Structure 1
């Protein structure tokens, strides 16, 4: 979801400990917590996320500290590993840092570099093609482990349990040029919710996408804290993040080959999921679900996890600019 505090960058300008209203000494306590449990070299990760403080232990392990509000659900991280195998990091809960609201987790370091770093090193068209093919493979893996909506009673989380409510909110309160799209999707929400429900990464952005530094192939996804079961297609909001990037002014711009990349994605997806290829009606609903994903992730403000405010002009202009680009097709 949208965040006015640079949530999408993976690096927040406000230090993590200041944002959590913790004294600077807590960083030393976190470091000591890790040293008491691991031998070998320990260093802070070069880029810190909005919701966590991360240390690297040697070359194989990362330890992450998260406040309760952003605590990882070990059941969900296990589900991610079961479905996506090597693309999700095995995660273990280490306990709570004494005297604080911080919870520690160890996880396997995923190979490669972040897509954000890769883009600074390379702009190969062939690598971009590989990324969208890998993204199609990711969707196919999710499809194969999909569940029926009637089997998810009690397991729907923040977004999945409130799709209609959020669409109604956006239909009424988004900047007026987006309301027609939200209303059109609302008309089809029953068909969208009747799609198979798939395990969906909740924060698909360049800082959380790990790729091979030579080929650009997807090697894993970080930060499954916001993962949940959602109708197939909603998670495809992330495709747009692979079809362009922010320019020097911070405005999202599609690559010149974005249309070609989009076509490659859909060709690959239909090849991997033949049953979709046999139903043009289902494909049309999946594409509506993808638009819903774009609205959910860029039309609802993150606001430190509250997720109950529609983005506003003059306050969330970065996300509104993305909506303008992503919904213009």
Structure 2
């Protein structure tokens, strides 16, 4: 949803082929946009898996989506209300005649995708540090608009309405080395569900993350089709995506400074929300919710939008590799990091209180 000089490697033909649409439909899409906008119509350099995207002018994007990936305007409005300029305002324009394609217009977000930014030679460690701080700020915006689970009974969507059953499936069917982790999170699901529920982006991938081409600062998030309300911490699965990237063989590898970046994130988060560090039980639950997020996003197969199958060896090796890397790192380092952060914040608060008492 932002212009980019780089092509991230996803082309138009697979989308129309996947939707079983003849080539003439692309012409019809272009004509639909041309009939509503006076500026030149051109395909976006990056085309996602679930849509065909056009630039209508310097400020507007037009997107065509089949029913399976149709945007929920109520959800896109919520995203704009919660995350302000980081989520594009979206309008439903109707259905393309004779097809299953639904048409949406939205504000073009500034910057380039993180996927494109990563191939630029100017990327810097400082930009990665800025991005994890911005990701912490994203959690704060979500928490400021949190709701309690009881108020969402009729609004829980695909994932939020089935956390327990998904964990049960993963505890029984994930590759053996992951089942204990899933079972452990299942034991704590009641506590996790008692956390505040926050609006969560459901597809936090490099192609959907928009950044400033110079600074790497977060400028917005694309594709809110999978967004929904989930317990606070579940959406932090996205932190792992910022701590590394795929190598030339398509295997996820952490950056050498990943531990430092993780510490920056948690330090910034507790600086912005110091109350979470005062409650060790809440911190533990948020951490478990983050692990739950990793399990949900990499332990359940996508299958063209269907989210009802546990990943399998030999069939979903990319997701299993990421699951192994993420869970191994999180279990070995993050718990100690959080204890250090919690202790540090408590000490700082104690010093501040002592100073104030002396002043009085």
Pair in the same fold by TM > 0.5 = yes
What is the DSSP-based 3-state SS (H/G/I as helix, E as strand, rest coil) of the residue aligned with 1:327? helix
Relative to structure 1, is the Cα distance of residues 165 and 105 closer, same or farther in structure 2, using a 3 angstrom cutoff?
Answer: same
Q: Does 1:212 align with 2:212?
A: yes
- TM value normalised by structure 1: 0.96
Larger Rg: 2
What is the DSSP-based 3-state SS (H/G/I as helix, E as strand, rest coil) of the residue aligned with 1:321? helix
State the match for 1:23 in structure 2. Answer: 22
In 1, Cα distance between equivalents of 2:320 and 2:285: 24
Unaligned runs of 5+ in 2: 1-7, 330-360
Cα deviations by residue, 1:99-147 (Å, 9 ceiling, x for unpaired): 0000000000000000001111133100000000000000010001000
- Displacement of 1:41: 1.1
State the match for 1:231 in structure 2. Answer: 231
What is the DSSP-based 3-state SS (H/G/I as helix, E as strand, rest coil) of the residue aligned with 2:31? helix
Contact 2:199/2:230 (8 A) holds in 1: yes
State the match for 2:134 in structure 1. Answer: 134
Q: RCO greater where, 1 or 2, for CA within 8 Å and sep 6 or more? A: 1
State the match for 2:48 in structure 1. Answer: 49
In 2, Cα distance between equivalents of 1:12 and 1:32: 20
Contact 1:17/1:23 (8 A) holds in 2: yes
Residues 86-101 of structure 1: pairs in structure 2 closer than 5 A: 86-101=85-100
Cα deviations by residue, 1:160-184 (Å, 9 ceiling, x for unpaired): 0000000000000000000000000
In 2, Cα distance between equivalents of 1:271 and 1:76: 29
In 2, Cα distance between equivalents of 1:161 and 1:13: 34
- Displacement of 1:13: 8.6
Contact 1:294/1:323 (8 A) holds in 2: yes
Relative to structure 1, is the Cα distance of residues 12 and 227 closer, same or farther in structure 2, using a 3 angstrom cutoff?
Answer: farther
State the match for 1:6 in structure 2. Answer: none
State the match for 2:36 in structure 1. Answer: 37
State the match for 1:294 in structure 2. Answer: 294
Residues 85-124 of structure 1: pairs in structure 2 closer than 5 A: 85-121=84-120, 122-124=122-124
Segments of 4+ moved more than 6 angstroms: none
What is the DSSP-based 3-state SS (H/G/I as helix, E as strand, rest coil) of the residue aligned with 2:264? helix
Contact 1:164/1:186 (8 A) holds in 2: yes
In 1, Cα distance between equivalents of 2:103 and 2:277: 44
Contact 2:88/2:108 (8 A) holds in 1: yes
Query: Please, which moves more after superposition, 22-31 or 114-123?
Result: 114-123
State the match for 2:66 in structure 1. Answer: 67
Relative to structure 1, is the Cα distance of residues 160 and 185 closer, same or farther in structure 2, using a 3 angstrom cutoff?
Answer: same
What is the DSSP-based 3-state SS (H/G/I as helix, E as strand, rest coil) of the residue aligned with 2:61? strand
- Displacement of 1:12: 6.6
In 2, Cα distance between equivalents of 1:287 and 1:189: 12
What is the DSSP-based 3-state SS (H/G/I as helix, E as strand, rest coil) of the residue aligned with 1:305? coil
- TM value normalised by structure 2: 0.88
Q: Does 1:320 align with 2:325?
A: no
Unaligned runs of 5+ in 1: 1-8
Residues 261-276 of structure 1: pairs in structure 2 closer than 5 A: 261-276=261-276
State the match for 1:198 in structure 2. Answer: 198
Relative to structure 1, is the Cα distance of residues 321 and 192 closer, same or farther in structure 2, using a 3 angstrom cutoff?
Answer: same
Contact 2:244/2:254 (8 A) holds in 1: yes
- Displacement of 1:218: 0.2
- Displacement of 1:305: 1.3
Contact 2:61/2:106 (8 A) holds in 1: yes
Q: RMSD of the TM alignment (CA)?
A: 1.1
Cα deviations by residue, 1:250-274 (Å, 9 ceiling, x for unpaired): 1000000000000000001111112
Contact 1:212/1:219 (8 A) holds in 2: yes
- Displacement of 1:11: 2.9
Contact 1:10/1:49 (8 A) holds in 2: no
In 2, Cα distance between equivalents of 1:224 and 1:292: 20
Contact 2:109/2:219 (8 A) holds in 1: yes
